[in-house]
Structure 1
Amino acid sequence: MDLTIHTPGTAPERSKPIAADSLERYGFLPNLHGIMAESPVMYEIYRQTGATFARRTLSVLERQIVLRAIDYENECHHCMAVHSPIATRERIPGAILSALRHGDPLADPKLETLRSFAAAMTRTRGQVGQAELDRFEAAGYTRENLIEAIVAIGYEVLGNDIDHVAATPLDAAFEAYAWSKPEPVQQADAA
């Protein structure tokens, strides 16, 4: 099924105020938002969840780690590309952003616990074991942080799934950040 990439002018009436807000925020209507505009309910939930998650207890860095770990696990080419310059604007260190884009462990043990937890939650659809939960808590994260990580998964999966269904073309503004999940490195068999 082909999904329309709406413009502010072609968006359904109930989506027009949200599209106008996106236009003001980005200077253009990102393709993913144009697709979401087809459903005012989807578009509103996505934007409201994002705005609510912005008031989290996790730091800006921790928030980006969770969201990019989700994009990596879900192989969301569009979301990783679009959010990489946002992470850069939020002053996420280049080494951390690079590691997130490559699926590499983070050097900081606490941040790596957060990254691996978000990745495991995404991969297993929330079916992580007690050991994973214990590691999360032992790293210094709270129950509130845990619930916020789950909110982040719900939020990011909305965008990931729309991107996958629509095969969202990457906006020209984000082409420099184009991304695809790296192929696993093949280990040579020991002789």
Structure 2
Amino acid sequence: MEATARHLGFLPSATARLAGSPQLLEGFQKLTALFDGTTLDPVAREVVVMTVVTRNECHICVAMHSGKLRKLGADGELIAALGERRALADQRLEAVRQFTLAVLASAGDVADADLDAFLAHGHTARNALEVVLGIGTYTLSTLANRLTRAPLDPQLAAL
């Protein structure tokens, strides 16, 4: 929790509530670090995250990751499309979004056509597995945030 507070300048309510299970909080932090170290580029990682968090309706996560996308230089249309669950203009990123949705819808048993479409946009089999890591990581946090009814901190709303 101290590292999160130092990084953000405050302790988000969601983090404090996740600490109700120190193992859950530690697991989420470790998984986040692992996902951040994947070969997916930072914006593609955020597409995975936003696809999961909008699907799971985690308002805290949407606010936080919209802010992260802005810091990465993503344009407003990309952020809005992700938040509204619309197709993305960038076909490479749309392939990430569609593949993430296919993995979620099929519990990982994606059709060959869905995997082929993902790979056709320059992504790799390794990237496909990294999408699964991102889905698992952010499913964990969204479910915990919703379960604990974590409020949206004003600092996150301002991102």
**TM-score, structure 1 as length reference:** 0.78
Do 1:57 and 1:145's aligned partners in 2 also have CA atoms closer than 8 Å? yes
User: Given the alignment of the two structures, is residue 147 of structure 1 paired with residue 129 of structure 2, yes or no?
Assistant: yes
Output the aligned Cα RMSD. 1.4
| 1:104-135 superposed Cα distances (whole Å, 9 cap, x missing partner) | 10112221111111122223332322211111
**TM-score, structure 2 as length reference:** 0.93
Do 1:73 and 1:123's aligned partners in 2 also have CA atoms closer than 8 Å? no
Greater helix proportion? 2
> What does 1:1-191 correspond to in 2, within 5 Å?
19-176=1-158
In 1, the alpha carbon distance for the partners of 2:57 and 2:104 equals: 11
Aligned residues: 159
**Relative contact order, higher structure (CA 8 A, sep 6+):** 2
* Higher Cα Rg, which structure: 1
The answer for unaligned runs of 5 or more in structure 2 is none
- State the shift of 1:23 in Å: 0.9
> Identity, % of aligned pairs?
32
In 2, the alpha carbon distance for the partners of 1:149 and 1:77 equals: 21
Do 1:74 and 1:122's aligned partners in 2 also have CA atoms closer than 8 Å? no
Do 1:73 and 1:122's aligned partners in 2 also have CA atoms closer than 8 Å? no
Task: Spell out structure 1 runs of 4+ moving beyond 4 A.
Answer: none
The answer for unaligned runs of 5 or more in structure 1 is 1-18, 178-191
| 1:45-98 superposed Cα distances (whole Å, 9 cap, x missing partner) | 111111111111111111111110111211222211122112211212221111
In 2, the alpha carbon distance for the partners of 1:122 and 1:73 equals: 10
